[in-house]
Amino acid sequence: MERRAALQRIAAIGALGAGAGCAEFGEGYPLAETPRFVPIQWPENRPKTALVLGSGGPRGFAHIGVLKVLEAAGIEPTLVVGSSAGAIAGALYAAKIPMPEIERRALDLGITEIADPAFLQPTKFIGRALQNFINSVVGERAIEALPRRFCAVAAPVGKSELVAFTCGNTGAAVRASAALPSIFRPVYIGGVAYEDGDVVSPVPIQIARTLGATRIVAVDVSAFLEDTPDRAPESWRARDAERRAIIDSEAKGADLMLRVRLPYYAGASREYRENLIRLADSQTRGAIDRIAAVLRE
Is residue 261 within 8 Å of residue 283, measured between CB atoms? yes
**What residues are labeled active site?**
84, 196
Closest CA to 36 of 142, 154, 166, 149: 166
Nearest to 242 by CA among 178, 208, 199: 199
92 membership: H or E segment, kind and range: helix 85-94
Give the amino acid at 121. Q
Strands 163-165 and 149-156 turn out to be antiparallel
Is residue 241 within 8 A of residue 234, CB to CB? The reply is no
The alpha carbons of the chain give a radius of gyration, in whole angstroms, of 18
Q: Are residues 2 and 9 in contact, defined by beta-carbon separation less than 8 angstroms? A: no
How far apart are the C-alpha atoms of 164 and 222, rounded to whole Å? 21
